[in-house]
Amino acid sequence: MTLTEQEKQSLIDLANEARRRAYAPYSHYAVGAALRTKSGRLYTGVNVENAAYPTTICAERVAVFKAVSEGEHEFEVIAVVTDNGGSPCGSCRQVLAEFGLDTLVLIADGRGRLIKQTSVKELLPEAFTPKDLKI
């Protein structure tokens, strides 16, 4: 899949705008995500922290779960924005792998600058996927 620079920036800007709605009173590490499905629909997500830390959820998973709840299972690209251009965590990588290792991942900083362009497959080599459950 080839995205224009304008398409990439548009997704990054959408994720950065969503990031303003993050609920991060403990870490103060706001994350925003913007996911585009193969059907062209867009879903945003933000991290939502909780005083009981294990119940916190990341922006990437919020965007994926919103998409899945609307019947979407095929993704093209996800943009993830943090102040410092942080990479998706292991749990988010695994959730993204469930829906396609070829999903493009755009990692950007709070200024909206693209820091890294990669794929789920590159972020999670030798991923455990549904095919691994087949005997």
pLDDT digits (tens, 9 = 90+) for 28-51: 999 999 999 999 999 999 999 999
pLDDT of residue 115: 98
* pLDDT computed for residue 94 by the predictor: 98
The number of C-alpha atoms within 13 Å of 8 and in the hemisphere containing its C-beta is: 17
Identify which of 14, 49, 56, 17 has the alpha carbon closest to the alpha carbon of residue 35: 14
Chain segment 112-124, per-residue pLDDT in tens = 999 999 999 999 9
Is 5 one of the catalytic residues? no
pTM: 0.96
At 2 the pLDDT is: 86
pLDDT of residue 114: 98
Domains located in the chain, CATH noted: 5-133 (3.40.140.10)
- To the nearest 10°, the Cα dihedral for 90, 116, 21, 70? -70
Q: What is the tally of helices (H) and strands (E) in the chain? A: 4, 5
For position 134, what pLDDT does the model report?
Answer: 81
Residue 83 pLDDT? 97
Phi, psi of 87, rounded to the nearest 5 degrees: -90, 155
Question: One of 5, 7, 17, 60 is an active-site residue; which one?
Answer: 60
Which residues are CB-contacts of 90 (< 8 A; sequence separation ≥ 6)? Answer: 124
Task: Name residues of the chain where pLDDT drops below 70.
Answer: none
